Amino acid sequence: MEGPTPVSALIHAATLVVSGVFLIIRCSILFENSANILFIVSIIGSLTSFFAASVGLFQNDLKRVIAYSTCSQLGYMIFITGLSHYSISLFHLANHAVFKALLFLSAGCIIHGLSDEQDLRKMGGLLKIFPVSYIMILIGSLALVGFPFLTGFYSKDCILELAIAKCSVVGNFCYFLGCSAAFCTSFYSFRLIFLTFVNPVNSFKSYVQHAHEAPITMIVPLMVLSIGALFYGYLTKDLMIGLGSLFFNNVYTSYYNFCLIDSEFLPSLIKNIPFLFTCIGAIFSFFLIHCFAVNKQAVMNIKLHPISKTLYTFLNKKMAF
């Protein structure tokens, strides 16, 4: 899966890794006739979502953080197919393709301009050198975490609402792990922004001296994708979501698995819980990554504490998988 940045953007965002999701959507009639298979798909999808998001918390490679984010979003797509809402899965697949391509290509601009350095710990203070790349990564990250009215918000929140509206043990399980993954996603997205752009410079002098913004040929595709990350979800939501949508008549869903109406009338508090988790993740990231960066002694005390050291090692090493 590792490769040049444009290749990573292509296979992670829109083609290779999501082909399995598309295959499940096309085979919906087979899955709908087996409740046990749907149960297994839901459980594996939700576990994947949380596993990848938690492992991404403490990765130090710029592209690897975004790659684990892809794996986490795939978990969302898979578990909502297990809950029999295939059109929502395809909606999230399309939305994800836009903002994930934006994130990967923006990361490529940073790596290209910083002498091919990918380690987040050797960056910092790049906001003045890479202003355009910063704006693009910020837009992509906000779309990824499901910031209201950006592209990721419409599909991600719909997935979590459908999970809790299922009113079953597996639906609640998916909802809980999905909200936990939303917290982790927010944390590592803002961690990436703080370590790369906002925190004090922690890079080699030669890297900073020769750092430069990407040329216009690399910036133009980012601008096109950023427009998609801002507006694509809003413009296509009525096509993909809702009882009036006839776009997916060939996707079969059993009537007793359909709970889109129930999700529409959930209490406002329930609907806002994922956004609350996202805000908490961003606040944690701000205090732990940004505020403590100026107080090196506090950082050392936290890092050397046995519990935090064990947790960091456990997640950084992919839970020993």
Mean pLDDT within 69-90: 94
Encoded tokens for 154: 């419409």
As a whole number of angstroms, the distance between CA 232 and CA 160 comes to 20
For 229-269, write each residue's pLDDT tens digit: 999 999 999 888 877 676 666 687 777 788 888 888 999 99
pLDDT higher than threshold 60 for residue 61: yes
Read off the pLDDT of residues 127-160 as tens digits, 9 standing for 90 and up: 999 999 999 999 999 999 999 999 999 999 999 9
Q: CA 154 to CA 232: how far, in whole Å? A: 10
Radius of gyration over every alpha carbon of the chain, rounded to an integer in angstroms: 20
Over residues 203-214, the pLDDT tens digits come to 888 888 889 999
- Nearest CA to 293 among 149, 144, 48, 121? 121
Q: Where are the domains of the chain?
A: 5-320
How far, in Å, CA of 120 to CA of 306, rounded?
A: 23
Q: What is the pLDDT of residues 278-294, one digit of tens each?
A: 999 999 999 888 877 77
Extended strands (E) in 10-107 = none
H or E stretch covering 45: helix 35-56
Question: What is residue 302's predicted lDDT score, i.e. its pLDDT?
Answer: 82
Question: Which residues, 6+ apart, have CB-to-CB distance to 226 below 8 Å?
Answer: 102, 135, 136, 139, 140
Beta bridge partners of 119: 61
